[in-house]
């Protein structure tokens, strides 16, 4: 596989690539609505704790496997397992990761399609002068139109898969360089606006003053799932990127930098969105539409609102694009590892994801009441079970592999820190991350 010999151009490029994978719908769309449904501040606190205790150490485990293997996930796991004298069956973990991202990308693409629609609408000035109620009703009407959802889903998937077909390390680097600072700047601006609204104080206390009375096992499970989801950890997707990592880079620094950027994007988005929610008397538990309704309302009150709203949706779209590219990579790498050509692998992945995505697109209208499992429809299933269960489970196995199966020297080298750094990392993974993930998964499932 010649693609895996590609390298990111620099250390910075690697950090940007991982940040590009991490920062996406998870921070700006999913965090606010999941926090909204799970009580706010307590959820935030638990999720941040999970990022520190599980997310960062497991992210390091995942990337170091890719880096030591220098192959697609399945092949890397298989080779490293054999090297370590362990079972080749570890390679199925790569397949499990591919299945996880398959489910995730199917709804991710549909929701990213919403941003395309909203980008066009904001450029057209459709939100100008609209009241909060009208904006809310417009969103409902949009969801009830599967043709429109499918059109945007197709467009987004096409954008994603063309970059993937070309090989990720080339196109992505330049895009990320430009994108991340711009997105950050705009979120700062939005959060600045939020301070001027009536809802700002309520939003702050709702986000930062936890009341632990409402914390249930399910809240904890959601917070853990979200920590994995937002960091893009647990699906072997970052493993695929680790394969391109430059030799001399320190992994802990990179992982820490990415996690901090990722959390701060979510916080800025949360402050902006919840200030509007409370200023407009909306319900924080309004579900997946939360961001798509609050932000047009917020911007419509700002000078040059339509312009900023367009810029925002453009940036959101670009952020989701870089995440979706990362979501597609493990699937394509897996098929390629079976000896398929990159172009064919990409086409097969694109078609399968598109088909599964149709079920999500119809989940807001025709299939809204088709609830195959746990009383949830397809969109609700694929947007909750893979992030909340599959990612932590994948992350758990990844951590076990890196901290228990791989030989010491190999891990020390792939981590890019000295012996003492290695021992610290290994102890955290062995005695904190692995047991904690296990307990929360078990508690949440029971
Ligand atoms: N981290 C991405 C986001 O927050 C989603 C993602 C999950 C990407 C898993 C890759 C792997 O939007």
- The model's pLDDT over 397-432, given as tens digits with 9 standing for 90+, comes to 999 999 999 999 999 999 988 899 999 999 999 999
Q: pLDDT tens, 263-272?
A: 999 999 999 8
17, 18, 19, 26, best to mutate for ligand 1 pocket (most atoms within 8 Å of CB): 26
Cα of 201 from ligand 1 centre, angstroms: 30
Cα of 308 from ligand 1 centre, angstroms: 25
pLDDT for residue 5 is more than 50 = no
Cα of 23 from ligand 1 centre, angstroms: 7
pLDDT for residue 306 is more than 90 = no
Task: Give the residue-averaged pLDDT of 195-218.
Answer: 90
Cα distances from 404 to residues 148, 246, 329, 392, in angstroms, run 49, 25, 26, 17
Atom index in ligand 1 nearest the CA of residue 26 equals 4
Atom index in ligand 1 nearest the CA of residue 231 equals 1
- CA-proximal residue: ligand 1, atom 9 (nearest): 232
Q: Of the given ranges (162-171, 183-192, 321-330), which has the lowest mean pLDDT?
A: 162-171
Q: Are 228 and 387 in contact (CB under 8 A)?
A: yes
Q: Are 88 and 81 in contact (CB under 8 A)?
A: yes
Cα of 317 from ligand 1 centre, angstroms: 14
Position 301 scores a pLDDT of 75
Across 124-133, 362-371, 420-429, the highest mean pLDDT is recorded for 420-429
Cα of 110 from ligand 1 centre, angstroms: 14
Atom index in ligand 1 nearest the CA of residue 324 equals 8
Q: Are 313 and 115 in contact (CB under 8 A)?
A: yes
- CA-proximal residue: ligand 1, atom 6 (nearest): 232
17, 22, 386, best to mutate for ligand 1 pocket (most atoms within 8 Å of CB): 22
Q: What is the C-alpha to C-alpha distance for residues 72 and 78, in angstroms, rounded to an integer?
A: 10
Phi then psi for 131, rounded to 5 degrees? Answer: -80, 165
Q: pLDDT tens, 378-389?
A: 999 999 999 999
Q: Are 379 and 107 in contact (CB under 8 A)?
A: yes
Question: Token pair for residue 438?
Answer: 């296990």
Task: Give the residue-averaged pLDDT of 372-380.
Answer: 89
Position 3 scores a pLDDT of 42
Atom index in ligand 1 nearest the CA of residue 262 equals 4
User: Which sign, positive or negative, has the C-alpha torsion 209, 269, 19, 340?
Assistant: positive
Residues with CB under 6 A from ligand 1: 21-22, 24-27, 101, 104, 229-230, 232, 235, 237, 323, 326-327
More confident residue, 170 or 87: 87
Report the chain's mean pLDDT, rounded to a whole number: 90
CA proximity to 59, closest of 245, 238, 247: 238
Task: Give the residue-averaged pLDDT of 24-36.
Answer: 92
Q: Residue 13 in 3-state DSSP?
A: helix
Position 169 scores a pLDDT of 65
Atom index in ligand 1 nearest the CA of residue 24 equals 12
Q: pLDDT tens, 317-334?
A: 988 998 999 999 889 988
Q: Percent of the chain at pLDDT above 70? A: 97
Q: Are 225 and 383 in contact (CB under 8 A)?
A: no
Q: What is the C-alpha to C-alpha distance for residues 438 and 31, in angstroms, rounded to an integer?
A: 23
Task: Give the residue-averaged pLDDT of 214-237.
Answer: 94
Cα of 117 from ligand 1 centre, angstroms: 21
Position 6 scores a pLDDT of 61
Q: What angle do CA 64, 256, 219 make, to 5 degrees?
A: 100
Q: What is the C-alpha to C-alpha distance for residues 92 and 134, in angstroms, rounded to an integer?
A: 49
Cα of 147 from ligand 1 centre, angstroms: 26
- CA-proximal residue: ligand 1, atom 8 (nearest): 232
Atom index in ligand 1 nearest the CA of residue 391 equals 9
- Rg for the chain (alpha carbons), in Å? 21
Atom index in ligand 1 nearest the CA of residue 327 equals 10
Confidence of residue 2 (pLDDT cuts 50, 70, 90): very low
pLDDT for residue 48 is more than 50 = yes
Position 1 scores a pLDDT of 37
pLDDT for residue 9 is more than 80 = no
Task: Give the residue-averaged pLDDT of 63-75.
Answer: 93
- CA-proximal residue: ligand 1, atom 7 (nearest): 232
Position 4 scores a pLDDT of 45
Cα of 154 from ligand 1 centre, angstroms: 19
Q: Are 293 and 136 in contact (CB under 8 A)?
A: yes
Cα of 103 from ligand 1 centre, angstroms: 12
């Amino acid at each position: 596989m010649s693609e895996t010999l590609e390298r990111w151009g620099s250390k910075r490029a690697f950090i940007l690539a991982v940040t590009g994978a991490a920062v996406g719908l998870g921070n700006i769309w999913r965090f606010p609505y999941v926090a909204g449904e799970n009580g706010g501040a307590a959820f935030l606190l638990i999720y941040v704790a999970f990022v520190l205790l599980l997310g960062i150490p497991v992210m390091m485990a995942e990337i170091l496997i890719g880096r030591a293997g220098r192959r697609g996930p399945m092949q890397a796991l298989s080779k490293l397992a054999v090297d370590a004298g362990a079972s080749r069956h570890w390679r199925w973990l790569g397949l499990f990761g591919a299945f996880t991202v398959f489910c995730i990308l199917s709804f991710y693409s549909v929701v990213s399609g919403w941003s395309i629609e909203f980008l066009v609408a904001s450029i057209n000035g459709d939100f100008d002068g609209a009241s909060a109620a009208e904006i809310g009703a417009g969103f409902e009407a949009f969801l009830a139109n599967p043709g429109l959802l499918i059109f945007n889903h197709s467009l987004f998937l096409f954008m994603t898969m063309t970059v993937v077909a070309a090989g990720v390390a080339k196109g992505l680097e330049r895009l990320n360089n430009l994108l991340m600072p711009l997105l950050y700047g705009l979120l700062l601006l939005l959060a600045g606006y939020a301070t001027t609204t009536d809802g700002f104080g309520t939003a702050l206390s709702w986000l930062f003053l936890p009341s632990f009375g409402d914390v249930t096992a399910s809240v904890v499970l959601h917070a853990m799932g979200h920590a994995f989801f937002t960091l893009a950890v647990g699906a072997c997707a970052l493993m695929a990127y680790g394969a391109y990592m430059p030799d001399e880079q320190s992994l802990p620094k990179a992982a820490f930098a990415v996690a901090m950027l990722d959390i701060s994007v979510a916080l800025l988005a949360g402050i902006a969105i919840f200030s509007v929610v409370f200023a407009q008397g909306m319900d924080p538990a309004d579900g997946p539409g939360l961001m798509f309704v609050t932000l047009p309302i917020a911007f419509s009150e700002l000078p040059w609102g339509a312009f900023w709203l367009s810029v925002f949706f453009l940036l959101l779209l670009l952020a989701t694009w870089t995440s979706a590219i990362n979501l597609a990579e493990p699937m394509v790498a897996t098929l390629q590892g079976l000896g398929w050509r990159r172009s064919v692998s990409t086409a097969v992945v694109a078609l399968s994801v598109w088909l599964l995505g149709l079920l999500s697109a119809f989940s807001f209208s025709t299939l809204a009441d088709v609830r195959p499992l746990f009383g949830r429809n397809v969109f609700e299933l694929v947007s909750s079970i893979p992030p909340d269960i599959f990612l932590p489970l994948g992350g758990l196995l990844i951590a076990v592999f890196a901290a228990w199966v791989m030989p010491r020297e190999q891990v020390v080298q792939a981590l890019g820190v000295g012996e003492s750094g290695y021992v610290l990392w290994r102890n955290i993974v062995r005695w904190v991350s692995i047991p904690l993930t296990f307990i929360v998964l078990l508690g949440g499932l029971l």
